[in-house]
Structure 1
Amino acid sequence: MHPEPKATDDAALVKAPNGGFRAWLHVALCHTVFLNTWGLANSYGVFQQYYTHTLDRSQSDISWIGGIQMFLLLFVGAFSGRATDAGYFRHCFVAGAVLQALGFCMASLSTTYYQILLSQAVCVGLGSGLVFTPGLSVMGSYFTEKRSVAVGLAASGAATGGILYPATANALLHHPGIGYGWTMRILALILLVIHVPSIIAYRPYLPPRSTGPLLEWRALRERPFVFFTASMFLNFSGLYMAFYYLGTFAREQIHLQTRESTNLLIILNAVGILGRSAPGFLAERYTGVCNMTLSVSLVCAICIYAWAAIDEGDDHVASLYTWTVVYGIFAGAAQALFPAMATRQTTDRTKVGARTGMVMTIVSFACLTAPAIQGALMRADGGRYLGAQVFSGSVVLMGVASLGVCRWCKVGFSVVKV
């Protein structure tokens, strides 16, 4: 394989199509990229439940598997994003798809905690990082207008994957004739089949650029970029608690059976289809993506605090289902708006990959540490979830404040679309 030919420094002069068959085809392909990356990450709750009951480890220990997987999904973005800008998109994408499938196959042979950590966390996570940021930045290069709509439609793939993978894994894991090993192999096959159209049809729109640093240090001197990145770091420190721990909360606090608790995870992701697609349209037409992100993030913080009011007992089952639907919609919106804003952190489209990768890499450390912190808070509180819920709601609220400062740096206190 060779990089796309003829690197150029005139990519900024290439006009984005902002529509047409090729552009919207890449939105559809990027939907499958989200499905096979964020969809996997959103599905980890079903494995959190399974590993907690099959491995002799605490919830905090088990959460490192999902945390490392999500960390690498984002951390590798700085490198794969820059490689994409340089013309090595297909190298990254194909290698990433192979690593993801290999990780699941190796997990199918694993019997200990550290084997699963290396296969499902490290190998799948590295593959996801090589697929996600290149796929997002290439799709984003087809749009300068309607980018929020395009990213929102693509990001709804995370909800599609969040329905497909946990439903499939839960059904197979508890099937007496299949078991854990074949479940992981079947998931690897599903993942590869879904990747095939992207491997065939995904093509960068901009020509590669031959020079440029791995990191855009100038971005760190731009206050809107710094406060936006800080806000997303804080948001993702709390936003994903439900995706990891809702299932175990339902079993331990509400006394639901495994099938019902898995249904909650599927509902949490399913309603995210609406949450990930509609806000992009509304932001593009009415509010602006920054204003929309502020609003949905604030609602997410309030929802996480409200989660703490759902106490133990059968009479709270309906409350938990209602909460899951509301939070799933707004958490899905926050997740979808994040990459939409990340790709807007520069007006130079030749640097979209590098800057998006920088944001993803910084945010990745929140995804790495937050699940373990939440698990440790639960353990310190005797298995109760209150401390972790308060922590998660508070850091998301701090993220809202930081994003408010980012907006102020751009337009002050003006009531305008931004």
Structure 2
Amino acid sequence: MMITSSSEGSSSSQPEAKNSSTVLVREDATKMDVPSDTIPLDEPLDGGWLAWSQIIPAHIANMMSWGYGTGFSVFQLYYKQTLNLPASQVSWIGSIQIFLCFLVGMISGRLSDAGYPRHLYAIGAVMCIFGMFMTSLANTYWQILLAQGFCQGIGAGLMFMPATANVATYFKKKRSLAVSLNGCGSSSGAILYPALVQFLTPKVGFPWAVRICGFISIALAIAGFSLLKPRKLRRVPAPLLDLSAFKNIPYTLFTVGAFLIYFSLFTMLIYINSFARESIGLSDLESINFVLINNAVAMPARPLFGYIADRYVGPVDIYGLNCLALGIMAFGWIGVHKRADMYAYSVVMGFVNGAAQGIFSSAASSFVEDVGKMGTWIGMAFGLCGFATLSGPPTMGAIIDASGGKYIWAQIWAGSTIVIGSTIILITSRLVVRKSRKASMV
């Protein structure tokens, strides 16, 4: 790495002053059609093949982590029918998988900042694929819990966070669009894997349907790993948990708001199928269609609102507004009584949910003051939200049980927590604007 001094009368042997005009050349600038002596260290490229290509490995990581996890409904139905287990017991497999994806993401985010994103991506991919093949061989509840719940959950957390944080380091002005495009992987994965399992199981059997998912994942992981090119950033020594982040009041309030939102967000996705079966009277097989519809509609919503966030509104505002709309949709769930209502609701719900989830990483990255801590700060936000996703479904289940199987109080609970959380998010946006105005006046 070269150092070029543009200040007169300074010597290259002198230490660099905080406000000097010294420009540090980035090694990744040589891969772009950009003069290498004009780009400061850690300044995002915001375009070019190198930057945009990083969306592909991140998209694949989201497919194999969030996509496989959020498409758990098809597995829930199969395990319930073949193992004759209570739905609540089976749901712990999916809940633990998503929880570990969040929690391990906090650790992998810090390790990614320390310079190990490719190692984490490879290890995570191997664990995800190993979990798929072990699931295909599992015959008991505990075997499935270990393979699909723990093994895939840990692998997913190791894989997705470094790839997502890497995309965020390449962009600033177009960050929301870029991150939302890689976030589409959770939607495409939640369509691909459940569809394969649902439609191949009657033809080749469940074990081979899951193995086919594993073979496809091998090809995807190899392609993603080949394209993953982490930036050579200045590494900032930091502990696993950068507690100094919580001195940033907007960031702290943002994580509180996100916790409340995620407390009910995945809960709605998990229980919407049960509601369709128990309250609307749809068949088990038809109720799975809502998973596919939700994720298919979510795909165009993610980049659309990512573009709007970059050009017009800002990621924190657009995230808060979409979550507010999601809270209103939770209250609107109360008015769903017929089959046609269910399909219409699923379409709107999928669009709003995709818009909200697709912008979360970009919104969290808005509070990062040092790009070298991108993975750490985003990872901590994800880790805290993981506890919300773990405790949310049992809480809603307890409310439904206490209501004699009726959903209305659970729907009110979900709407209330999401609306409160989104209101807090919108307040953090105002604090950020006020802080930036004060900084510009200094």
TM-score (norm 1): 0.91
Q: What SS is found at the alignment partner of 1:240? A: helix
**Tell me, what secondary structure is at the counterpart of 2:359?**
helix
Q: Secondary structure at the residue paired with 2:366? A: coil
> Equivalents in 2 of 1:44, 1:146: separation in Å?
32
Residue among 320, 326, 335 paired with 2:342: 320
Structure 2 unaligned segments of length 5 or more: list them: 1-23, 27-39, 438-442
Counterpart CA distance in 2 for 1:232 and 1:206 is 30
Within the candidate set 410, 420, 423, 1:401 is matched to: 423
Between 1 and 2, higher relative CO (CA 8 Å, sep ≥ 6) is seen in 1
State the shift of 1:297 in Å: 0.8
Could you say which residue in structure 2 is the equivalent of 1:115?
143
1:233 maps to: 259
Is residue 42 of structure 1 aligned with residue 70 of structure 2? yes
Matches of 2:92 and 2:394 in 1, distance apart? 6
Partner of 1:69: 97
Contact 1:46 1:247 survives alignment (8 Å): no
**Match 1:51 to one of 79, 83, 90:** 79
Comparing 81-90 with 380-389, greater Cα deviation is found at 380-389
Mean Cα displacement is larger for which, 11-20 or 226-235? 11-20
Find out whether 1:271 has 2:271 as its counterpart. Answer: no
Q: How many angstroms apart in 2 are the aligned matches of 1:404 and 1:263?
A: 33
Q: 1:71 to 1:180 in 2, by over 3 A?
A: same
Structure 1 portions without partners, runs of 5+: 1-9
Alpha-carbon distance between aligned partners in 2 of 1:231 and 1:284, rounded to the nearest angstrom: 22
- 1:49–1:248: 8 Å Cα contact kept in structure 2? no
Q: Per the alignment, do residues 414 and 254 of structure 1 end up closer, same or farther by CA in structure 2, a change over 3 Å counting? A: farther
Distance in structure 2 (CA, Å) of the matches to 1:28 and 1:217: 32
Asked if the contact 2:236–2:372 (Cα under 8 Å) also holds between the matched residues in 1, the reply is: no
**SS of corresponding position for 2:231:** coil
Alpha carbon RMSD of aligned pairs, Å?
Answer: 2.0
Q: Tell me whether 1:255 sits opposite 2:277 in the alignment.
A: no
Structure 1, 352-361 or 51-60: larger mean CA deviation: 51-60
Which whole-Å CA distance do the structure 1 matches of 2:388 and 2:319 have between them? Answer: 18
Query: What is the deviation of 1:132?
Result: 0.8
Q: Report the counterpart of residue 383 of structure 2 in structure 1.
A: 361
| Secondary structure of the corresponding residue to residue 281 of structure 2 | coil
- Measure the CA separation in 1 of the matches of 2:63 and 2:342: 26
Identical aligned pairs, as a percentage?
Answer: 36
Cα distance per residue 1:295-317 (max 9 Å; x no partner): 11111011111112213xxxx11
Q: CA deviation at 1:414?
A: 12
**1:224 pairs with 250, 254, 258, which one?**
250
The CA deviation string for residues 167-197 of structure 1, in whole angstroms up to 9 with x for no partner, is 1111123x1x422222222222222221111
**8 Å contact from structure 1 (residues 268, 327) kept in 2:** yes
2:124–2:154 contact (8 Å) kept in structure 1: yes
Between the two proteins, the alignment pairs up a number of residues equal to 400
Compare 325-334 and 37-46 and name the one that shifted more: 37-46
Q: Describe the superposition over 1:41-96 as per-residue Cα deviations: whole angstroms up to 9, x where unpaired.
A: 22112222222333333332222111111111111122111111111112111110
How has the CA–CA distance of structure 1 residues 359 and 245 changed in structure 2, closer, same or farther, with 3 Å as cutoff? same
Match of 1:31 among 59, 63, 71: 59
The 5-angstrom pairing of residues 295-310 of structure 1 reads 295-310=321-336
Are 1:149 and 2:177 counterparts? yes
CA contact (8 A) 2:324 2:423 kept: no
For normalisation by structure 2, the TM-score amounts to 0.86
How far apart, CA to CA, are the structure 2 residues paired with 1:179 and 1:385? 35
Which of 138, 141, 156 is the matching residue for 2:166?
A: 138
Tell me the CA shift for residue 413 of structure 1: 12
Q: What is the letter of the counterpart of residue 82 of structure 2? A: T
How many Å separate the matches in 2 of 1:379 and 1:189?
A: 40
Verify: 1:198 aligned to 2:224, yes or no: yes
- The structure-2 alpha-carbon separation of the partners of 1:414 and 1:359, relative to structure 1 and needing over 3 Å to count, comes to closer
Relative to structure 1, the CA distance from residue 372 to residue 187 in structure 2 (aligned partners, 3 Å threshold; closer, same or farther) is farther
Alignment CA distance shift 1:381-1:178 (3 Å): farther
Once the two structures are superposed, residues 253-297 of structure 1 have per-residue CA deviations (whole angstroms, 9 ceiling, x without a partner) of 222223321222100110001221100111111111122112111
Q: Aligned with 1:13: secondary structure?
A: coil
State how far apart, in whole Å, the 2-side matches of 1:408 and 1:48 are. Answer: 42
- Residue 301 of structure 1 aligns to which amino acid in structure 2? G
- What's the secondary structure of 1:411's corresponding residue? helix
Moved more, 204-213 or 292-301: 204-213
- Using a 3 Å threshold, how does the CA distance of structure 1 residues 296 and 375 change in structure 2: closer, same or farther? same
CA distance in 1, matches of 2:87, 2:409: 15
